[in-house]
Structure 1
């Protein structure tokens, strides 16, 4: 992962988001906070501040917004990873220390992570090493999380005199339940990979050299399904509880008229007859 990404046939090379051909420049590939490899059905984005353990700074947030704009316009599955054996060690504390009340109300990180969570197609977070603070909250915004045995994930914000305000306070309990989430948030303790798997915070563990390949296996499985049905499934899953079942039925009504539904069901029935 990182600068040495080698694209497979049909893929484009990993390039800094905002490089030549994009809307804004974020510098050379080696200095860009986010490396992006684009394929027809997916995008692989690698957090790329290894010297800072991929701490999330304003440049990273800006790059994530650019990427979200791209994936809102041309929906594809997103695989999100980190360079240098680390996902993201947290928000950049040097920047965070200088932020004041107006910055908190602006929701700099929170709004970027909300936008990521609302992308039309699935987001897969491939977690290695540290995923702490804002890094953990970025992971929580993904639809699917897989990890290596080296994962250490948690929210130590209260130890720094702040709260986990970029998604942990509401997303974590949706993932692991109220009792576990409040214990983790109040103690600020770090969760190991084994515990993360046990409590459902991640769904799979893989050796570091197999992690990205495992993420691609999931993306491949998603790609075999109907794109419109995948988007609809994510949309109804993210809908508030009081929107069900109406939101499900409306999405299903659209899909019931889809030519792809008739094609896939016809193929299924023909296979059953053989």
Structure 2
């Protein structure tokens, strides 16, 4: 939409594609982009849709996010850190009602990888680059990298990335289960849409409740599962979808 200056918003039916669009600085995350991502979240919290987060091209190369805007980051002090500027928006993205897909080509470094980690799913190209170079800049990956990365790839590899500066390419990221799918650059957008199609084929309420329940602490289970299932057992979609399944089985 025209009011965005760092993003391109594309809405189609059950999904929204948001294209990060600061190619001149390799999509470095600045405060304007953070504010606009908050506006994206506000809309999708009010009207849940699948979100595809992707980058843009610059001089024939794909760009996801090269990191935070270092010029702004260098000026931040203790109180800025305590505000959790990037942490807050990435957590908001992670807790959106409907699933989020990150489609990654090129650099996903620092805040870029943390943004990708906030998504539910990641599809990428072989030329994608994943890393957390914060310790080389005298800081930590404080916007989710220290814990989301470990959950996905395990402690040993996470430490190599976080403490020794290792950068993974797309193939290495797929082998480490950091990403879900690997595609050629020219196929990435279609692959992200196809992934969204698979989600959209499920019952939206069941997907939404599953995502919310999965995010709860272990101590909440199994009681919360029973309550969530009780809600779904009364939904019209449950009766319609199960009847359709029985009809298909009967007609085989």
TM class by shorter chain equals: over 0.9
The answer for the alignment partner of 1:56 in structure 2 is: 29
The answer for the alignment partner of 1:266 in structure 2 is: 243
| Higher deviation after alignment, 108-117 or 218-227 | 218-227
Q: Which runs of 4+ in 1 moved over 2 A?
A: none
The answer for the alignment partner of 1:150 in structure 2 is: 127
The answer for the alignment partner of 1:10 in structure 2 is: none
Question: What is the deviation of 1:40?
Answer: 1.6
**The one of 21, 43, 49 aligned to 1:70:** 43
Question: What is the deviation of 1:178?
Answer: 2.0
Q: Kindly provide the CA deviation profile for residues 145-174 of structure 1, in whole angstroms up to 9, marking residues without a partner as x.
A: 010111101100000000000000111111
- Work out the CA distance in 2 between the residues paired with 1:238 and 1:174: 13
Gaps of 5+ in 1: 1-14, 20-25, 27-31
Q: Within 5 Å, give how 1:1-274 maps onto structure 2.
A: 15-16=1-2, 19=3, 26=4, 32-84=5-57, 85-274=62-251
Q: Kindly provide the CA deviation profile for residues 211-240 of structure 1, in whole angstroms up to 9, marking residues without a partner as x.
A: 010000011111111010010111122111
Q: Kindly provide the CA deviation profile for residues 131-152 of structure 1, in whole angstroms up to 9, marking residues without a partner as x.
A: 0000000000000001011110
The answer for the alignment partner of 1:5 in structure 2 is: none
| Higher deviation after alignment, 242-251 or 125-134 | 242-251
Q: Kindly provide the CA deviation profile for residues 22-43 of structure 1, in whole angstroms up to 9, marking residues without a partner as x.
A: xxxx4xxxxx211100112000
| Higher deviation after alignment, 67-76 or 32-41 | 32-41
- Work out the CA distance in 1 between the residues paired with 2:237 and 2:209: 14
- Work out the CA distance in 1 between the residues paired with 2:238 and 2:192: 27
**Count of aligned residue pairs for this structure pair:** 247
Higher relative contact order (CA 8 A, sep 6+): 2
Question: What is the deviation of 1:250?
Answer: 1.3
Q: Secondary structure at the match of 2:126?
A: coil
Question: What is the deviation of 1:192?
Answer: 1.1
- Work out the CA distance in 2 between the residues paired with 1:56 and 1:248: 37
Give TM-score, length-normalised by structure 1.
0.88
Give TM-score, length-normalised by structure 2.
0.96
- Work out the CA distance in 1 between the residues paired with 2:114 and 2:250: 48
The answer for the alignment partner of 1:23 in structure 2 is: none
Question: What is the deviation of 1:179?
Answer: 2.2
Gaps of 5+ in 2: none
- Work out the CA distance in 2 between the residues paired with 1:174 and 1:267: 37
